[in-house]
Chain A
Amino acid sequence: MGTALAGPTAGVPQKARRSTGRRLRENLRGYAFVSPWIFSLLVFTAYPMLASFYFAMTDYSVLNPPVWTGLQNFRVMFTKDPLYWKSVYNSAYYALLAVPLQMIVALGLALMLNQRVRGIGVYRTVYYLPSLMPTVAGTLLWMLILNPRHGLLNLGLQAIGLPKLGWLSSATWSKPGLVLMAVWTGSGWIMLIFLAALKEIPESLHEAAMIDGANAWQRFFSVTLPLLTPAIFFNLVMEIIGSFQVFASALIAGGSGQTAGPLNSLLMYMLHLYRYAFRYFDMGYASAMALALFVFLVIITMALVKSSGSWVYYETARR
């Protein structure tokens, strides 16, 4: 995103000296244009962020004013709520499986589509179509496909001599089932971003490598892949943040019973949080959960940003 950050100042016709009055007017005009967004940043971002620190330290049922309890919520969360750790485990399991799978599938599809193929538009649409499905519709469809007795997937497994799996009705297979769904619905979008990045790689680099006698593999690993790392980095960060906050598919696939999926195997972090916030109206505890996840995601993102220096290739000279 390096190029995006460069300011637009370059094209401004510079007047030799500008009076302070004029500069003030210019400033005010600028602020007038961005004022809705400043308001939004303050009210819908900054305030909620600060408030969540406060609410996390309170006992707050919405109906009564919040009561300060210090670190009590965190104490309960980390030591007295076994379901909390269950939800941490479930979300980590889900993210560790879904993120790499989506990335690999999306990258593979993008690489194939980037070759000059006839009918690329048709393929691209087919791969992207699932991303357009509303989560509820997509989840219902996969609940049908993953049906343990006569679902399409199990019939397919049976046809090639593999055992049928329990999928959403089994504590072992429910999360992989949810991941399959995520790969189907989520890869298309990531693929489009990879495809846009691939289109930016100048043909001349490949030709130069070819003249130097590099074969297809060498060209992929020393030309394509390094130039794709910014897109990989971006997708990785966004997918990790998204996967740890997976909610709707788990809520729907988990069923309307007391547990989320068999033995709470689909109790994702956000689902646990949602229950405390909007079913039990324990806003304090839910805020503490939100804060913990936020801090965790910030640490992960920072670590990725820090590591990016050694593996993400930013071409500064280009453009």
Chain B
Amino acid sequence: MSPSAAAGGIALRARRRLFRRITAAAIQHLVLCAAGLLFAIPFLWLVITSLKPLEQVFTDPPTWIPHPVLWSNYVEALTSPAFPFLRLLRNTLFYTVVSTVGVVLSGAIVAYGFARMEFWGRDVLFGITLSTMMLPGVVTLIPTYILFRVFGWVGSYAPLIVPAYFGSAFNIFLLRQFFMTVPWELTDAAKVDGASELRIFWQVMLPLIKPALLVVAVFHFMWAWNDFMGPLIYLDDAGEYPLVLGLYAFQTRHGIKWNLMMAASLAVAFPIIVLFFIAQRYFIEGITLTGLKG
């Protein structure tokens, strides 16, 4: 082979490699977009249907653009006596916020104990804590219900709120991981200055792990907002229902008006979606820090 031919071969190979890289990137985006569409279409359909007149909900071929666009569906759905949105929202916000405060407070205190204190049996206790994360909820469901019934709490928000004030395994675990990343020098300095453990916890450590507290708060807020079984078994008066139960009741009574039901569904999901977008950055960080990578 002559030198020039070899050089040409190299150039050709380089060009081929570039070509291959571009096609690879194109294929990648194509697959990602296709998968993205599959995930996005149901969601789009929710939005589209919520703006349709009822007779355009089931058409063949499907109606992609509602004509006219009925924003009034939202007014009709959210003011319908069968779906008293404002009251449902107030109920949801009440127990969600109150239990979130509890989860963050108790989680931080307990996690601090696990991360920074030495006491007999700590590691065993922490091991138990981790294993309860895998405990199937089914085994505690009924006795817990009976316990709350004995307390006279069935029919109130107490069963949905009180346990949060005593900690939850996942959040304790998450916050402990964050506490562990704080250098000991910081707290040792405060200790030398004579600060008590409680003061170190409150004035030094808590401000340092604010992002983690936010992650826990958002995680729990979303979980409580979407929780279905808890409110279903513990609340019996429709006046106490949170949004998800209100939506369920709306469906069982007005199951035919799909456009209104989609508007109501979106209204229930919307605050959580907004919250996710605000907290997204911390979210990913939180998941990485849980150390689930093994």
Chain A residues with a Cβ under 8 A of chain B:
1-5, 7-9, 11-13, 26-34, 36-41, 43-45, 47-49, 51-52, 55, 62, 108-109, 112-113, 115, 117, 123, 125-130, 132-137, 140-142, 144-145, 147, 149-152, 155, 159, 184, 188, 192-193, 196-197, 199-200, 229-231, 233-234, 237-238, 241, 244-245, 247-248, 252, 256, 270, 273-274, 277-278, 283, 286-287, 290-291, 293-294, 297, 301, 312, 314-315
Contact = CB atoms under 8 A, between A and B. Distances in A.
A62 B147 CA distance: 11
B146 A283 contact: yes
A241 B134 contact: yes
B60 A7 contact: no
Interface residues of B, number: 102
B113 A34 contact: yes
List the 10 shortest-distance A-B pairs measured between CB atoms, nearest first: A230-B294, A33-B113, A30-B119, A40-B166, A30-B117, A150-B58, A48-B143, A51-B143, A137-B265, A48-B140
Contacts of B142: 48, 52, 55, 277, 283, 286-287, 290
A7 B197 CA distance: 19
Contacts of B135: 45
B172 interface: yes
Contacts, number: 280
Contacts of B252: 256
Contact of B197 (A3, A27, A29, A247): A29
A252 B251 contact: yes
A290 B138 contact: yes
Given A117-B32, A197-B293, A231-B292, A145 B42 contact: yes
A45 B142 CA distance: 12
Contacts of B273: 129, 132
Interface string B115-126: 111111011011
Interface string B149-186: 10000000000000101111000110001001000100
Interface stretch (B3-11, B72-80, B221-229): B221-229
Nearest to A126: B36
Interface of A: prevailing SS = helix
A140 B145 contact: no
B267 to A, nearest CB: 9
B96 to A, nearest CB: 12
Contacts of B82: none
Given A3-B294, A48-B141, A134-B247, 18 more contacts: A5-B127, A11-B184, A28-B119, A33-B117, A37-B129, A48-B147, A49-B140, A115-B28, A136-B244, A137-B269, A150-B58, A152-B42, A155-B61, A196-B293, A230-B294, A252-B248, A252-B251, A314-B294
